[in-house]
């Protein structure tokens, strides 16, 4: 079931449809004189301009930068969006919102004005289950330098990140990962407790 501070709810069955996507938002740099919370609010408005319908959005959370020492604390959130676009087009629209808010891609996992991660589109698996498994099980050291040449969905690091799963609990706790069969709640509960406690609601 979808929850959040947007009026209306979306049931689990609808979340299986590929016109519904899960998106993680994050910011830890100012832009245009506004702080990270302001940037996320503005990002939601820009998502509407790009053609998305916001079905639900989470609270805002403060999270230490990942990896540790990479910059100021982040403000994170998650959203359920209805999209009229296919997966590559959806990603391109998200990147357009990032660019409009000053995002530059220079250092991987570095500080940024805005990060919009496409986490999933319903129960779609891209490009296939075998490739998804390869990237999902990739060792951390290899992750730091390897970048896939194709879009991987669901996001291969989804189950490892408290700063993603804690906000997702607000809006899509019962969404089921189409490869692992685990819900957002189950993935969240499997995380180490110290990591979950670092993600604090504002």
pLDDT at 5: 47
Separation CA 1–CA 130 (nearest Å): 29
Share of the chain above pLDDT 90, in %: 67
What is the residue extent of each domain of the chain? 12-201
Q: Which residue has the tokens 């390869």?
A: 134
Contact between 4 and 60 under an 8 Å Cβ cutoff? The reply is no
Check whether 11 has a pLDDT greater than 60: no
Share of the chain above pLDDT 70, in %: 88
Secondary structure (3-state) at 23? strand
CATH number (3.30.70.560, 3.40.50.1100, 2.40.50.140, 3.40.50.720) of 12-201 reads 3.30.70.560
Contact between 58 and 170 under an 8 Å Cβ cutoff? The reply is yes
Q: What is the pLDDT of residues 69-116, one digit of tens each?
A: 777 899 999 999 999 999 999 999 999 999 998 866 555 555 788 999
pLDDT at 10: 46
Secondary structure (3-state) at 119? strand
Least confident of 7-16, 26-35, 79-88, 107-116: 7-16
């Amino acid at each position: 079931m979808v929850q959040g501070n947007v009026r209306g709810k979306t049931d689990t069955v609808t979340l299986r449809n590929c016109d519904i996507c899960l998106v993680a938002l994050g910011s830890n740099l100012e832009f245009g004189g506004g702080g990270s919370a302001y940037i996320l609010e503005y990002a939601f408005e820009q998502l509407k301009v790009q053609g998305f319908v916001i079905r639900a959005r989470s609270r805002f959370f403060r999270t230490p930068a990942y990896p540790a020492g990479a910059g100021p604390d982040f403000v994170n959130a998650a959203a359920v969006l209805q999209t009229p676009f296919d997966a590559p087009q959806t990603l391109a629209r998200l990147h357009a919102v990032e660019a409009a808010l000053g995002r530059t891609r220079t250092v991987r996992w570095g500080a940024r004005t805005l990060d919009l991660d496409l986490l999933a589109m319903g129960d779609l698996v891209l490009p296939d289950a075998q490739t998804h498994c390869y990237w999902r099980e990739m060792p951390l050291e290899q992750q730091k330098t390897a970048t896939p040449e194709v879009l991987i969905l669901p996001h291969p690091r989804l189950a490892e990140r408290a700063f993603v799963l804690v906000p997702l609990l607000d809006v899509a706790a019962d969404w089921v990962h189409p490869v692992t069969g685990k819900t957002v709640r189950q993935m969240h509960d499997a995380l180490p407790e110290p990591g979950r406690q670092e993600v604090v609601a504002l």
